[in-house]
Amino acid sequence: MDSGKLSCGNEVSIHRSTAADIDVLMGVYADARRYMRLTGNATQWTGGYPSRAIVERDVAAGNSYVGIGADGEVLMVFSFFVGREPNYDRIEDGSWPDDGAYGTIHRLASTGRMGGMLRRCVDFCFTLADNIRLDTHADNGPMLAAVGRLGFVRCGIIYVDDGTPRVAFAKRRPAVPYSAGRM
């Protein structure tokens, strides 16, 4: 699986963020926080979350990705890594579908300039992992609707570092249908 650059249709390419992107990423996150407040999500991403230090850490670790439009404008940012997410070790009101390896999407934010960013993010992440997990706040109506449309399964409630609950979801990469007679 390639973790480089991927074109995801409608003139969007996704690649790892660099230190040069950080100021733009912080602006996208600030806009996303404002959008959350406007859509009734007053308690997620408070206190300036994600902080510049978190974004810098994501970039340095190679876990920060950016979606770029044909015009070169940043359309979305997200963090993705394959491996254990400690906050997912304890899940209430449900369970994970399996104990296999997984990748985790965190901190997805879009400029709102183009729709379908979660789908593009998920399509890209499926090039890196067969099983994806993510979580969001119960008040994040737009994200809850989007993960449902994409076929994510609600698995239960997890708690993030500050102790607040999040609704947890998982999805396995769809199998490629077998076509008899083809090799």
71 within domain boundaries: yes
* Statement: residue 5 has pLDDT above 70: no
* Statement: residue 9 has pLDDT above 60: no
93 within domain boundaries: yes
55 within domain boundaries: yes
Residue closest to 155 by CA, chosen among 62, 76, 89, 81: 89
1 within domain boundaries: no
0.85 exceeded by the pTM?
yes
60 within domain boundaries: yes
Residues 98-120 as b or e (16 or more Cβ within 10 Å = b): eeeebbbbbbbbbbeebebbbeb
State the pLDDT confidence band at 60, using cuts at 50, 70 and 90.
Answer: very high
pLDDT (tens digit, 9 = 90+) per residue, 91-124? 999 999 999 999 999 999 999 999 999 999 999 9
Phi and psi angles of residue 35, each rounded to the nearest 5 degrees, phi first: -65, -40
Three-state secondary-structure class, residue 138: coil
What is the rounded CA–CA span in Å between residue 60 and residue 120?
23
177 within domain boundaries: no
Task: From residue 52, give the alpha-carbon distance in Å to each of 68, 86, 90, 132.
Answer: 20, 22, 28, 25
What is the rounded CA–CA span in Å between residue 81 and residue 88?
13
What is the rounded CA–CA span in Å between residue 25 and residue 46?
17
Residue 99: CATH number of its domain: 3.40.630.30
Instruction: Note down the domain range covering 18.
Output: 6-172
Count of domains in the chain?
Answer: 1
What is the rounded CA–CA span in Å between residue 70 and residue 104?
27
Sheet containing 165-172: which strands, arranged edge to edge?
Answer: 6-7, 12-16, 64-69, 74-82, 103-110, 131-136, 165-172, 153-159
Q: Cα(first)–Cα(last) distance of the chain, in Å? A: 21
Residue closest to 121 by CA, chosen among 169, 78, 57, 72: 78
State the pLDDT confidence band at 174, using cuts at 50, 70 and 90.
Answer: confident
pLDDT of residue 2: 39
Three-state secondary-structure class, residue 180: coil
